[in-house]
Structure 1
C-alpha cells in the first residue's frame, strides 16, 4: 500500500511509506517475533534473578572451590594423604594431587550438591585410569531372551549316574549257551542289535523284549524261557555295544566318535525356544545358564545315559535405545555397556539449543509389555549446577528418549504456522517502509 497524497507524506517527519521489496508478511513476522522474545526474555530474567536470590548456594560459580561455604567445609576436613588404592597407581614421590569432589553415597540416597564437596583422590590410578577400576558386575544373573546365541557342547562321559545300565535300541549284545552252541546269536565283533521297537530275535524263541532291561535281567528272562526247551540252558549275555543313542546324538551334532566335545549352535527364537537333537524344543526364555544346563541334562537322562550337555552364551541379542527430538542426530543407539540418559543423548550428538532438558521424556516397556514413562530434569546437570542428579537414570533395552522443544520454540513455531503461513499466507498485505 502506498500513500499517494504528497501533502500527507510531507507531514511525516521520519518514516514514509514507499514501494519496496520488503513484504508485509516479513515485517509482521519480524515485529511479532521480536516483541514476544523481548517480553519472554524479560520474564525469564526476573524469574532467574529471584531464584538466584532465594538459592544462592545452587548458582553456578566459575570455580566451585571459590564458594565460601565450600572453603569452610574444606577447612574442617583433613587434607588428602598419600594412600595406595588396591590395584591403583602407587605414590613413589609424594602425595597425589589433592582435589575435591562430590560423592552421592555421602547423602544416603539424597541428591548431593556442590556445597557437599570434600577432599577426594581423583588420580588414584594415575595413567592407568583410562581402564578404570574393577567395578561390580553389570548384572547379577543374566537371563536368556530371544535373539541370544548359544553353543551347546556335547560330551559322552561314560559315567553312570544311577543304578545299572539299561539296554536301549541300537545297543548290541552277544547271547551264548553252554547247552547248545546253536543258540548263540552275535559275536564279539558284531552283536545282536536291539531293534527300534526294543526287541531282539533269538533262536527258538523269536522276538524277546530287551530295551529297558539290565544285562542281568535279560539273562534271567532268556534263561527262564529256554528252560522250557532245555534242562540246563546256561544262558550268558554279554554287552558288545552300549550307549549307542548317545553316540547317535553326538554324531548328529556333527562330530565323529571318540571322547571329544562337539558343539551345536542355536539361537533363541522369538517364541523363547531352542531345539536340540533327541529332545526337541525347550522354552529357555528367562533361564540362567546353570538353570538351562540342568534342564537339558535332565531331559537327556530320560532317554540316554552318559551324555552331558554344557550350554555357553556366545552372543547376546542386540540391545537398543532410541533418541529423538531436539538432538543433533536422532538415531537408534546400540547398548554395549551400561548407559545413562545423558550418555545416550551425547551419543546422539547432544541436545540442540532448542531442546528442553528440563522435561526429557523416557518411554519404557515393562516385563508384560505395558507402557510406562517418566519425565526427567537434566538442565542442572548440563549447566553444572547439580553434581549428582537423581534424574540421571540407567536406560534399558527398548527405551525411547525424547528431548522436546523449549516453550519459546514451540511458541515461535505456532506463530510461524498461524500468522506467517496461515493468516498472511491467505491475506497477503505489503507495507512500504522508508
Structure 2
C-alpha cells in the first residue's frame, strides 16, 4: 500500500511539473509572408534586401515583447537617430534592421530580462527616385536594388502614348548643383546608346516629356 501511494505521489508531481511547463508563456511567433524571391516579411513590413541599410526619414516599427511603452513606430531623424522611451536616442542610420534590433536589445539588457526585440522597415524614404511626365504610373519609387533608367520606366508601367522618347532626361543634384542628363529611349532600346542607360542615384528624377 505504501509503495502504491509513493508511486501516485511521484506521478502527480511529474504531471504538475509538465503542466507548469506547458502553461509557461513564450514570446509569440511573428507571422511571416514569403514573396516570389523567397524573402520573408512580417505583416506591415515591406520587402527589403538583407543588406538594406537604414537612412534618414525611413519609418521603422520597433516591437519589444510585452513592453507596449517602448514598442512604437518611429521616423529616423535627419541626424540618423531615433528616440525611444526608457532608452533615449539611438543612432541607427547606416545599420541593417537586424543590426538595429541587436543594438536595441543590448541597450535594454540593463532594464529588462532577456528583451525580445524586432525592428522592421515599414516605409522607405531615404532611398527614393522619382519619375514624372508621360509614363503610366508616375511617382516616387524606393531604390532597393541597382536600377537603371529603363528599369524605372518599366516599373512605372512603361511610356505613355504621347511620350517624347528622344527627349527624356534625368535631373540629378551633385554638390548642390542640378545636372540634366539626357536619355534617348529610341536609341537605347536599339542598342545604339547603352551608356545613356545609367544607374540611378537616390534623389534622381526621371522626366519624360
The two structures have a TM-score, normalised by structure 2, of 0.55
Shift of 1:331: 8.0
2:53 is aligned with 1:143:
yes
Determine the structure 2 residue equivalent to 1:296: 104
Determine the structure 1 residue equivalent to 2:139: 333
Determine the structure 2 residue equivalent to 1:392: 197
Please list, as runs of the form range in 1=range in 2, the aligned pairs for 1:48-67 lying within 5 A after superposition. Answer: none
2:94 is aligned with 1:286:
yes
Distance change (3 Å), C-alpha of 1:308 and 1:371: farther
2:187 is aligned with 1:380:
yes
Determine the structure 1 residue equivalent to 2:18: none
SS in 2 for 1:312: strand
Q: For the residues of structure 2 that align with 1:335 and 1:300, how far apart are their CA atoms?
A: 35
Determine the structure 1 residue equivalent to 2:81: 273
2:172 is aligned with 1:364:
yes
Give 1 or 2: higher helix fraction. 1
Shift of 1:395: 2.8
Question: Which 5+ residue runs of structure 2 have no aligned equivalent?
Answer: 1-35, 40-46
Shift of 1:142: 0.8
Determine the structure 2 residue equivalent to 1:323: 132
Match of 2:69 among 252, 255, 267: 252
Q: Which one has a bigger Cα radius of gyration?
A: 1
Coordinate RMSD, CA, aligned: 4.1
Contact 1:149/1:317 (<8 A) preserved: yes
**Larger relative contact order (CA 8 Å, sep ≥ 6):** 1
Distance change (3 Å), C-alpha of 1:329 and 1:305: closer
Contact 1:345/1:351 (<8 A) preserved: no
Count of matched residue positions in the alignment of Structure 1 and Structure 2: 161
Please list, as runs of the form range in 1=range in 2, the aligned pairs for 1:126-275 lying within 5 A after superposition. Answer: 134=37, 139=49, 141-155=51-65, 250=67, 252-253=69-70, 263-275=71-83
Distance change (3 Å), C-alpha of 1:316 and 1:390: same
Contact 2:166/2:184 (<8 A) preserved: no
2:107 is aligned with 1:306:
no
Shift of 1:283: 2.4
Distance change (3 Å), C-alpha of 1:142 and 1:149: same
Contact 1:378/1:389 (<8 A) preserved: no
The two structures have a TM-score, normalised by structure 1, of 0.30
Determine the structure 2 residue equivalent to 1:24: none
Distance change (3 Å), C-alpha of 1:353 and 1:321: closer
Distance change (3 Å), C-alpha of 1:251 and 1:403: closer
